[in-house]
Structure formats: C-alpha cells, structure tokens
Amino acid sequence: MSNYIMDLRKIVGHRPLLQCAASIIIVNEKGELLLGRRTDNHLWGYSGGSIELTETVEESAKRELFEEMGLIAEELEFFMVNSGPEAHYVYPNGDEVYNVELIYLCRKYHGTLKRQEEEVEELRFFAPEEITMDMISPPIRPVFRKYLEQFQA
C-alpha cells in the first residue's frame, strides 16, 4: 500500500477513499498475459497500485511493475481507464476504495521475474483463453473483459 494511502487510512480508517492507481498488463511474444496471484484475496491480477503524490502516472505504473514482478517496462501503450461502480472494492481487511485506474499494455520489457512476497503468491503467464472472470480480482474484471473482447482470437 502506498505511503499516501497509508497516511489517509490513519485518519479515515476503513471509510471509502477515491484511489488513483496506475497499472501495467505485460504481454509476451506469444500473446500471453503475466498475472500475479494476490496474497490478500488469492485471485489473479496484473501489476499496479496507488499513485504517490510526486509521481506521474507512468512512473507509478513502472514502479509497481518492478516492485511486484521484477520487470522494467521499456514502452507503454495506454489501454483504458477503469472506474465507476465495478471498480469499487472492499479489501479483505475492510478498507474500501473507489478506484480510478489508468491501465497500460507493455510488450517490450526486460528483467527477471521476481514476485513481491508480501503482495504476490505466484507469477504466471496465461494465454487469453485460459483467463476466466472468476479467477480475476473483482475490481479489475472490467479491464479483462475489454482486453479479451479486443485481443482474444
């Protein structure tokens, strides 16, 4: 969790926050997506998280990718904004958020896959046809629906 969000949580507790986030979906040369199984809800998702006060959206997305998955994004392609009722989420600890998330696709990257142990149980590439909505963390399901509509063969 970002320092900014942690500081706000000290004041507001579990009450709803508007959370601005940046994320990256890694796509390999086979068209597979890199997903991480989250430690909090044990569902799958891409790298991403809250934007810090001094960061650009792109810097935040790249930082989150490196922290959570060990990869360095070389090129980002804007994909979509995820917001609204479906982006609302209550974390297992009771923290409630309304996400406004900017998502990028990245096909050019380097580094060694390494999961952030506190947040990610496992990293794995999935072919699009292997991805089902019940395996995906709820607030990012709209992103996967759009991705699969656009890119699934």
Res. 1: pLDDT tops 70:
no
Tell me what the mean pLDDT of segment 57-86 comes to: 97
Pairing of strands 96-111, 17-26: parallel
**Contact in structure between 148 and 131 (CB atoms under 8 Å):** yes
Q: How would you classify the pairing of strands 71-82 and 33-38?
A: unpaired
Tell me what the mean pLDDT of segment 21-36 comes to: 98
Alpha carbons 71 and 140: distance in angstroms, whole number: 21
- Mean of pLDDT over the chain: 95
Q: Which domains, from first to last, does the chain contain?
A: 20-151 (3.90.79.10)
What CA–CA distance (Å, rounded) separates 29 from 70? 18
Model confidence pLDDT, tens digit, residues 79-133: 999 999 999 999 999 999 999 999 999 999 999 999 999 999 999 999 999 999 9
Q: Dump pLDDT digits (tens) for 109-124.
A: 999 999 999 999 999 9
Query: Which structure tokens are listed for 69?
Result: 């998955």
pTM: 0.93
State what percent of residues in the chain have pLDDT above 70. Answer: 98
8 Å CB contact between 25 and 46? yes
The amino acid at 67: E
Is the confidence at residue 74, as pLDDT, over 90? Answer: yes
